[in-house]
Amino acid sequence: MYLTKEEELALSGEYGPAVQKAMEILVALGDIYNADRLIPIKSAQIAGVSYKNLGEYGMQFLRDFVEMGAKVSVYTTLNPAGIGDEEFTEKQQEILDLYRAMGVEITSTCTPYYGPNLPKFGDHLAWSESSAVSFANSVLGARTNREGGPSSLAAAIVGKTPNYGLHLEENRRATHLIKIEAEVRERTEYSILGYRIGEIVKDGVPYIKGIRPDVDDLKAMGASMAASGSVALYHVEGETPEWRTALNDVVEEILIDEKDLQEVKERFSAEWREVDFILLGCPHASLKEIKEIAELLRMRNRPLKVPLFVTVSKSVKALADYLGYTEIIERYNGKLLSDVCLVVSPVNEWYSGVATNSGKAAFYFKSFGLNVRLDGLEKIIMEAP
C-alpha cells in the first residue's frame, strides 16, 4: 500500500506510540485486502462498548491505548452500552470514561444518524455497528466497510481508512436480484423480509424489487439483513440513492413470496404466557416510532402487565421527553432507555421470553436461549397482557 511521507512518519512513531499502533493496524488491513492507499474519513463509529462483549481483555486494550495518549482526530461516536448489576455498571462506566479520554463523543447508539453523526452521500466512514453500517451505505449512500472495534478506533485516531471493499465503486454493485412477490406493508414485515434476504445473500449486495418502504422500514429491514447475514449494503429499486447504477445483468435472481416470510415468522412464535418483557427500538427508535408507540398505548388505554422497554439514542430521548411521549409511555408501564442495548446486556439472567417487532432482536435473543415472539407494533401493544 502506498503511504505518503506524513503517513510514513506516523508509522515510524514520529507522532507517538498510539498513532503508530493505529497506523500499524490500518496498514496491516490495507495490505491483506490489497488497498492502494489510505483515504480520509468524515466520521467514525466504534463497536466494542458493552462490558458484556468487551470483557476485561478489551478494557485492558483500551486502558493501554489511553495510557499511550490516544486521541481521535475525526468526529467519533459509540455503539450502545450494556446494562447490568452494580459491578457491570461500574465496568461499563469505566469503558465510557476511557473512550471519553480519547475524545470520543459519548453518544452510544446504533442510530448515530439521528444525532450529530449524520453522513452525506459519498462520504467515506469507518463505522462498525452492523445496522448503522447498512443504513449509512444503503440509505444515505455514504461508504463504509463493516469495521471491528479496534479497526474503527484506529481509523478514528488516524482519520483515515484503507481504500478497499465498499469504499470502491465496483464493489457496490448488486450480487443478487431479489424479486418480492408478497405484500409487505407493515414495519415488522420489512424486518422479516430483511431476515430472509440476509439468510439468502449472506455477505452479498442484494438489489430488491417490488417494495415501497419508508425510511424506518429501510432501517428495520437493513438491520435484520445484517444480523441473519452480514449484508453491509443493499439497494431498493426506485428508493435508495444508488439503485440506478447498482444492477448489471449477471446477478443471481431470487424470488421471495408470502410463504418464505411466513416460514421465518413461524420460527419466532412464542405464546404470550412465555413472554416476560417487550422490546421495541432495535435499532434505536426514531421520534416517529416513539410517537406511534405512545399513540397506540393511549388507544389501548390500560397499562401493560409485562414491562415494555423502548431503546433510543440520547438525542431522540430528549425530544421525546420534551414532546411528552416519554410520560405517556411511562404511564402504561413502558420505559425509554437511552444509549443502551438489551442485546448486549445479560437479559437471559433476568428474563425468559420477549415480544419484539425487530427481526434483529429476535435473531439475537433466540441465540441467547430466550423465547421470542416476533409481531407487528400494533399487535404487540394491543394484544399484550
Partner 1 sequence: MKLKGRGIGKGVVEGVVIVSRRPLSFLGGVDPETGIITDAESDIKGESIKGKILAFPRGKGSTVGSYVIYALAKGGNGPKALIVEDAETIVTVGAIISGIPLVTGIDIKKLKTGMRVRVNAETGEVEIIGEGNL
Give the binding site for partner 1 (CB under 8 A): 21, 24-25, 28-29, 31-32, 47-48, 53-58, 60-61, 128, 147-151
Q: What is d(CA 130, CA 223) in angstroms, rounded to the nearest whole number? A: 7
Give the amino acid at 208: I
Q: What is d(CA 319, CA 119) in angstroms, rounded to the nearest whole number? A: 21
Instruction: Indicate the residue among 24 and 186 with the shorter CB distance to partner 1.
Output: 24
Residue 61 C-beta: closest distance to partner 1, Å: 5
Residue 72 C-beta: closest distance to partner 1, Å: 17
Instruction: Indicate the residue among 60 and 248 with the shorter CB distance to partner 1.
Output: 60
Residue 160 C-beta: closest distance to partner 1, Å: 16
Instruction: Indicate the residue among 65 and 309 with the shorter CB distance to partner 1.
Output: 65
Q: What are phi and psi of 300, to 5 degrees?
A: -60, -45
Residue 11 C-beta: closest distance to partner 1, Å: 12
For residue 174, what are the contacts with CB-CB under 8 A and spacing of at least 6? 205, 206, 207, 235, 246, 247, 248, 251
Q: What are phi and psi of 324, to 5 degrees?
A: 90, 0
Instruction: Indicate the residue among 151 and 240 with the shorter CB distance to partner 1.
Output: 151
Residue 367 C-beta: closest distance to partner 1, Å: 12
Question: Strand, coil or helix: what is 291?
Answer: helix
Residue 28 C-beta: closest distance to partner 1, Å: 5
Instruction: Indicate the residue among 73 and 230 with the shorter CB distance to partner 1.
Output: 230
Instruction: Indicate the residue among 137 and 315 with the shorter CB distance to partner 1.
Output: 137
Q: Name the residue among 170, 348, 338, 200 with its Cα closest to residue 263.
A: 200
Question: Strand, coil or helix: what is 31?
Answer: helix
Name the E strands within 131-194: 160-162, 176-181
Instruction: Indicate the residue among 7 and 292 with the shorter CB distance to partner 1.
Output: 7
Burial group, residue 238, by CB count within 10 angstroms (0-12, 13-18, 19+): exposed
Residue 50 C-beta: closest distance to partner 1, Å: 10
Give the amino acid at 266: E
Q: Which 8-state DSSP code applies to residue 210? A: S
Q: What is d(CA 82, CA 86) in angstroms, rounded to the nearest whole number? A: 12
Question: Strand, coil or helix: what is 12?
Answer: coil
